[in-house]
Amino acid sequence: MIFRSLILKASSLSPVKKAITKSSLFRPMVSRFVAGDDLDHSLSVAEDLATNGFGVSLDLLGENVATLEEATRALASYEEIIDRIGKGRHKDKINISIKLTALGLDLGDDVAERHYRHLLRHAQPYGIFIRADMEASEYTERTVAMIERVFADFPNTGTVLQSYLYRTDDDLERLLRLGSRIRLVKGAYLEPETVAYRDKATVDDMYVTEAKKLLLRGKYPAIATHDEAIISELKDFIEENKIPRDSFEWQMLFGIRRDLQNDLLEEGFKVRVYLPFGEAWYPYFSRRLAERPANLVFITKSLLKK
């Protein structure tokens, strides 16, 4: 956890960000985690994954817009993604993940909610599900409350909960009562000890406990993890409780543990790949490095070859 914190802190420094975003050395690593800069290429990747049996969640990278004009542009971009998916041959397998801060949450809950409702309304005729990604803890309550407000009108949405936050058990109960779909993750933001568990073992224990609740009581939950030990424990739980394999899905990030993704699919489980794309890839890339510091080995080897 200490090394992870150091990576996140270092990545927030302007000289580090400039070095990574301007250097061609990092492009191979970025392309491992990010499908591409443009929608055409990313949809092609999504279609290939869907053809091979995977579900896909497309995520246009970008967050924390500062003006109404930026939020409106983000809304238009999301609309284009929905239209392209809806007119494609795999609209039943491809959905989208969005950031409420990209829709203007920093400009006010009313701004983001207006844009969010518009987007959900736009997606309904296609039958496309939209998941509001969970962001840093300062947005957690506002995001959960937003889902509570819009879900009755737009059941084609849900959100994400992070097991490292102290509040997640309560949020899980709120959303289970609501009946919305939930993706469970461990959490990738650098949070203070006042709001989040810092010990990996504790985070893992919380994740397993909450995942079991979701598997028993959730509406088509998404169990998002690459942790083989956790997956093994949950597979035993699924077997013991006779939980149907089509009642939930595993979710994994594009470019990470493709072998595990294929294995789960071959075992008859549903697997969805979270597929990010776009030019604003740096924050996402930094969080992926922090989650798996071993990826730094790739960069080190590249530097030594120069």
| Contact in structure between 247 and 222 (CB atoms under 8 Å) | no
**What's the rounded Cα separation, in Å, for the pair 253 and 46?**
13
| Contact in structure between 188 and 290 (CB atoms under 8 Å) | yes
133 is catalytic: yes
Report which DSSP code applies to 21. H
- Crossing angle of the two packed helices 282-291 and 295-305, in degrees rounded to 10: 110
Q: Is 108 left (phi over 0), alpha (psi -120 to 50) or beta?
A: left
Angle at 279 between CA 275 and CA 282, to 5 degrees: 80
Enumerate the H helices of 132-187 as residue ranges: 140-150, 168-178
Torsion angle defined by CA atoms of residues 266, 219, 214 and 183, in that order, rounded to the nearest 10 degrees = 70
3 state DSSP class of 54: coil
Report which DSSP code applies to 220. S
Q: Give me 17's structure tokens.
A: 């960000």
Report which DSSP code applies to 165. B
183 is catalytic: yes
Q: Give me 43's structure tokens.
A: 């949809």
Q: Which of 4, 59, 131, 133 is catalytic?
A: 133
Q: Which of 131, 183, 272, 287 is catalytic?
A: 183
Enumerate the H helices of the chain as residue ranges: 2-11, 14-22, 27-33, 39-51, 68-86, 109-123, 140-150, 168-178, 200-217, 228-240, 258-266, 282-291, 295-305
As annotated, the active-site residues are 133, 183
